Amino acid sequence: MRLVTTMMTKKELSDGDVSKAIEILLSTFNNKYQIFKYNYDDSKYHETDIDLFDVVFTKQNLHDGISKLISCYETIMDEISIEIDFISANDDTHNEVSRYEKDVNDVKDFGLFVTNRTIPDLEPYYSSETCNAYVNLTHVSFGVYY
C-alpha cells in the first residue's frame, strides 16, 4: 500500500522542513518515498505529500501503526515551527484535501487527521499538549480488509 501523509500549511514548507519530516517518518517507517508539493492559485493552503511505498498494515497491527504515525506527526509538529495539519490515508488524499480547503473542521470521515486544534463535535482518538488525532476507519481502511 502507498501510505500518503499530506501536510497542510498556510505557508509553504521549506525544503529543510520537508527533509526533517521525512527523516522523522523514515525513523519509524523505513520505506521508499516520494514527495509532491501542490499550491494551486485558488487554494488557501499549501499541500506537501510524502508517499511511503509498500507500507503494510494488518488487522493485528493497524492500531499500532496508527499510533506510530501519530507519534511521528507529533514529533514533526514539535520540531517544525509552522502550523501543520496532517491528513493520512492509503493511496490518495485528494478528496480529503478538497473538503479541508472548504472547511478545515470537516474531517470526520478522514482516515487519520492530526492537528493542534480541537475539532468541534468530534472525540479525539488521541490527545496531548501537542496535538489531537482523529481516526475514522469506516471510510479509510489503510489497506486492511476486514
Predicted confidence at residue 41, as pLDDT, reads 81
> Averaged over 85-100, what is the pLDDT?
94
Predicted confidence at residue 30, as pLDDT, reads 92
**pLDDT band at residue 146 under the 50/70/90 scheme:** low
Predicted confidence at residue 91, as pLDDT, reads 87
Predicted confidence at residue 7, as pLDDT, reads 98
Domains contained in the chain, CATH given:
3-135 (3.30.70)
In 3-state terms, the chain is what percent helix, strand and coil (to 5)?
A: 30, 25, 45
> Averaged over 97-123, what is the pLDDT?
96
Q: Are 46 and 39 in contact (CB under 8 A)?
A: yes
β-bridge mates for residue 71, sequence order: none
Tell me the per-residue pLDDT of 48-64, one tens digit each, with 9 for 90 and over. 999 999 999 999 999 99
Q: Are 77 and 84 in contact (CB under 8 A)?
A: yes
Tell me the per-residue pLDDT of 8-33, one tens digit each, with 9 for 90 and over. 999 999 999 999 999 999 999 999 99
Beta-carbon contacts of 129 under 8 Å, excluding residues fewer than 6 positions away, are none
